[in-house]
Amino acid sequence: MLTNDIKSMPIEKRLMLMEEIWDSLCHENEEISSPAWHQEILDERMQLIKSGKAKFLSIQEIKNNPL
């Protein structure tokens, strides 16, 4: 299936397809490893939290100020 084929599908069908893909991945026996940069970002964020420099936003604040 090509990207253009997916884009031409109605949103409901794309969401169903995405759910089916996630479901298939959840039942895989193979371990899926994250790239090293994921851990680096998590470590940086944990340091911000520990140092008191992290800024937390409520869901409402995020909804009111999208990127």
pLDDT digits (tens, 9 = 90+) for 9-61: 999 999 999 999 999 888 887 887 889 999 999 999 999 999 999 999 999 99
Q: Which pLDDT value is given to residue 30?
A: 81
Q: Please report which confidence band the pLDDT of residue 1 belongs to, taking 50, 70 and 90 as the band edges.
A: confident
Q: Which of 22-49 are b and which e, b meaning 16 or more Cβ less than 10 Å from the residue's Cβ?
A: eeeeeeeeeeeeeeeeeeeeeeeeeeee
Q: How far from each other are the two terminal CA atoms of the chain, in whole angstroms?
A: 31
Dist. CA 9–CA 15, nearest whole Å? 10
31 phi/psi in degrees, rounded to 5: -70, 130
> CB of 19 within 8 A of CB of 13?
no
